[in-house]
Structure 1
Amino acid sequence: MEEVTMLKAVLLDISGVLTEDGEALPGALEAVARLQERDLTLRFLTNTSRRTSAKVCEDLQALGFDVAPAQVFTAPGAIRRYLARHRLCPYLLIHERLEPEFADLPSGQPDAVVLGDAEQRLDYAHLDEAFRLLLDGAPLLAVGTNRYFRQAGTLHLDAGPFVRALEYAAGVEAHVLGKPAGDFFHAVLEEAGVAPDEALMVGDDVECDVVAAMDVGLQACLVRSGKYCAGDEDKAPEARCEASLADLVEALLATR
C-alpha cells in the first residue's frame, strides 16, 4: 500500500487507544514497542483536561509505555502556550487537578476564559462568571469540542456541550486549541518534522480524532475501542478501521 510505505509518524490518541480507566488496553504496550522498533516517529495526543501534561506522561510511564515528556501533546498544554504567547490572564474554568499546568502564568484581572472538563465546577455560578467576561470581550479558549468521554464502561459529558452553551449565550465562537482544531495537529506535525500525508492519526473518536485529522491531510485510523460506537466508521468511510491498536500495528508492519 503506497500510503504505508511513505509513513513516517504515528500520532496516538491516549484514552481509548492506549488506555482505559487507568489501565493499558490489551496489546497496547506491545504495539507501541513494535512501532518504536521501526523508523517511525511517535507522538501521544490527548484532550484530557483533568491531568497536567507532566502527569499524563508520568501515568503512561507507570503503565510501562516508553514515553518522553516531549512526545506528549495535550490540549491544556496548547492553551497554556497560547496564553503565554499572547500575554493573557485567564479565568480558569478547569478541573482542580489541572491548575498546576497554568501556575506559571501571571494573575490579575482575567481577560480570557479557559474552559475544560471542570467536572463539579461546571455549575451556574462559574459558567455565569465566564459568560460575563465573554460579554466584556474576553476570548473563549477551549480544550476541545468533545461531546463525551468513556469512563468505567459508561459515557459521560465532556467539555464540548458547555463550550457550545457559552458560545450560544454570549454570541461568540470559541478558539479550540486541542483536537479537533487543525492548528493542534499542525503543531504536532511541525514539532515532529513531518508533512501531513506522512503521518497517521489513530483514535477512537471518529469526529475529533479521525475526521479532524483527515481534514488537515493526515492519514487516519479509527479503532473499535474506547468511546467507539457501532456505525462510527460510516462517518469516515475513507479512514482505516481496526479492532484495536494491536491489530492496526500488525497490519501496518506486515506491509513494511
Structure 2
Amino acid sequence: MTPESLKQTAGLLLDVGGVLYQGDEALSGAVAAFKRLKTSGLPFRLLTNTTRTTRTELASRLAALGFEVTGADIVTPASAAAAILDAEGARPHLLVHPDLLPDCPPEAAEPNAVLLGDAGEHFTFERLNRAFGILIEGGRLYALGRNRFFRGRNGFELDAGPFVAALEYAAQVEATLIGKPSPEFFRAAAAAIDLPSEKVLMVGDDLEADVIGAREAGLEAALVCTGKYRKGDAMAAKKGGAHVAASFAEFIDAFLL
C-alpha cells in the first residue's frame, strides 16, 4: 500500500480492542488521533467482532476512555444477525454471552439453528451439547465470529473460533460466518457509510480477521502493531498490499497528512 492509495480512501472502518484501547486503558495517542479523525469529517464506523457486549455498552466504555462515539457508530455481528437469520428462515438457539442478548434476535421456542458468539465462561458442556443436538438434527450453525483468540486483561484468551470448529467437527456442518472476516460483513459496513468497498480502508490489529479479510472483500487495509499483533505479521500484511503502522495514532498521522 502506498501513500497514493491512502489518499484515495474516502472512509474508514476501525477495529476497537487492540487498536483504540487495551484492557481498561486507551492506547497511547489513540484518543487524540480519534478526535482528529472526527474533526476531519471523514465517514467511519467502528467494526468489531466483540460478542460479549452490546453496542450501547461498548459506546459507553469507549466514552469513558475519551472516545466520543454512540452505538450508531458501531457495527457488530450481533447487530447484523437478526436480519440475516430472518431472511433465511432461521429460528435460533442462542449460545452467546448473556451480556449480548439485547443486541441478538430472540431465542426461538423451537430452534432450527444455532447462533454462536464468544460466550466466555458460559461455554459449558451442557450448553455446547444442546447446540450440538440441534445441529446433528439438521440445524444450521451461524457464527458471530471465528477469531481464535484475543488479548484480554490477563493475557491471551480463547475467542469463539475454537468452539465453532468443535461444533463443525462434531456435527459435520459448516458455519455461516456473520462477523469478520466475512466479506459480506465488511461490505455491509462500507455500505453503512455510503461508500463502495474500494474506497474504504479497514484498520485492525488482527492479520487474519482484519487485514486479510478486508483485502479479500475488496477494501484497503492497515495493520497496527498493537493488541494481538505478533512478530511476522507486518511482513505478511505488506505482502498482501496492506499498510503497516506502529499504532492507530501513527496511522492517523500519516493518513491525515
TM-score > 0.5 by shorter chain: yes
Structure 1 stretches lacking a partner, 5+ long: none
CA contact (8 A) 1:142 1:175 kept: yes
Counterpart code for 1:249: I
1:100 shift after superposition: 2.1
Mapped to 1, the partners of 2:20 and 2:70 lie a distance apart of: 15
Mapped to 1, the partners of 2:188 and 2:94 lie a distance apart of: 23
| Matching of residues 57-136 of structure 1 within 5 Å | 57-102=59-104, 105=106, 107-136=108-137
| Matching of residues 136-147 of structure 1 within 5 Å | 136-147=137-148
Mapped to 1, the partners of 2:252 and 2:61 lie a distance apart of: 23
Q: 1:253 aligns with which of 241, 252, 256?
A: 256
Mapped to 1, the partners of 2:225 and 2:154 lie a distance apart of: 14
Q: Which residue of 2 aligns with 1:45?
A: 47
CA contact (8 A) 1:144 1:178 kept: yes
CA contact (8 A) 1:11 1:202 kept: yes
Alpha carbons of 1:57 and 1:80: their partners in 2 closer, same or farther (altered >3 Å)? farther
SS of equivalent residue, structure 1 residue 10: strand
Alpha carbons of 1:21 and 1:115: their partners in 2 closer, same or farther (altered >3 Å)? same
CA contact (8 A) 1:8 1:39 kept: no
Q: Which residue of 2 aligns with 1:182?
A: 183
Alpha carbons of 1:106 and 1:152: their partners in 2 closer, same or farther (altered >3 Å)? closer
1:87 shift after superposition: 4.6
CA contact (8 A) 1:204 1:226 kept: yes
CA contact (8 A) 2:6 2:255 kept: yes
Q: Which residue of 2 aligns with 1:231?
A: 232
SS of equivalent residue, structure 2 residue 99: helix
User: Does 2:194 align with 1:193?
Assistant: yes
Could you tell me the TM-score, scaled by structure 2's length? 0.93
Mapped to 2, the partners of 1:62 and 1:85 lie a distance apart of: 36
Counterpart code for 1:247: E
Mapped to 2, the partners of 1:206 and 1:39 lie a distance apart of: 28
Q: How many residue pairs are counted as aligned between the two chains?
A: 253
SS of equivalent residue, structure 1 residue 91: strand
SS of equivalent residue, structure 2 residue 139: coil
SS of equivalent residue, structure 1 residue 172: coil
Q: Over aligned residue pairs, what C-alpha RMSD do you find?
A: 1.5
User: Does 2:211 align with 1:240?
Assistant: no
Counterpart code for 1:47: N
Higher mean alpha-carbon deviation, 133-142 vs 84-93, is at: 84-93
1:106 shift after superposition: 6.0
Mapped to 2, the partners of 1:158 and 1:127 lie a distance apart of: 15
Q: 1:23 aligns with which of 12, 22, 25?
A: 25
Per-residue deviation, residues 116-148 of structure 1 (Å, max 9, x unmatched): 111122122211111110111211110111000
Mapped to 1, the partners of 2:140 and 2:17 lie a distance apart of: 28
SS of equivalent residue, structure 2 residue 14: strand
Q: List structure 1 runs of 4+ shifted beyond 4 angstroms.
A: none
Could you tell me the TM-score, scaled by structure 1's length? 0.94
Alpha carbons of 1:189 and 1:36: their partners in 2 closer, same or farther (altered >3 Å)? same
1:202 shift after superposition: 0.3
CA contact (8 A) 1:8 1:199 kept: yes
Mapped to 2, the partners of 1:153 and 1:240 lie a distance apart of: 29
Mapped to 2, the partners of 1:210 and 1:240 lie a distance apart of: 9
Mapped to 2, the partners of 1:107 and 1:173 lie a distance apart of: 21
